[in-house]
Structure 1
Amino acid sequence: MASIDVAIPSYNYGRYLRDCVQSVLSQEGVDLRVLIVDNASTDDSPQIARELAASDSRVELCLRERNLGQHASFNQGVDWAEADYFAILCADDLLPLGALARAVAIMEQNPDVNLVYGRTEFVPSAFSPSTLALPSQPADFRIFSGQEFLEIFCRTGRSPIGGPTAIVRTAAQKRAGHYLTSLPHTDDVEMWMRIACLGSVAEIDAVQLYARIHEANQSAAVSNVHSWNLEMEQAFAAFFSGAGAALGQARRLHRMACRSLAHRAYWCAVSHVLRGEPGAPDLMRFALRLRPTLALVPPLGSLFSRADALDRIRATLKARLSARPTDHAEESSALRRKA
Structure 2
Amino acid sequence: MKRITHGAGGGIDVLRISEDDRPSPGAGEVLIEVHYAGVNRPDIQQRSGSYPPPPGASPYLGLEVSGTIAALGPGVSNRKVGDQVCALTPGGGYAEFCLVDGRHCLPIPAGLTLLQAAALPENYFTVWANVFDRAQLQDGMSILVHGGSSGIGLTAIQLAHAFGAKVFTTAGSAKKLEACLAAGASAAFNYREEDFVEAILRETDGRGVDIVLDMVGTPYVERNIQCLAVEGCLLQISFLMGSHFSFDATPLMRKRLTLTGSTLRGRTDQQKAEIARNLKANVWPLLAAGKCLPVIDSVFSFEQAGEAHALMESSQHIGKIMLAVKGDRDAAQ
Task: Tell me whether the two structures share a fold, i.e. TM-score over 0.5.
Answer: no
* Structure holding more strand per residue: 2
- The structure whose residues are more often helix, as a share, is 1
Query: Which band: TM-score by shorter chain?
Result: under 0.3
Larger Rg: 1
TM-score for the superposition, normalised by structure 2: 0.26
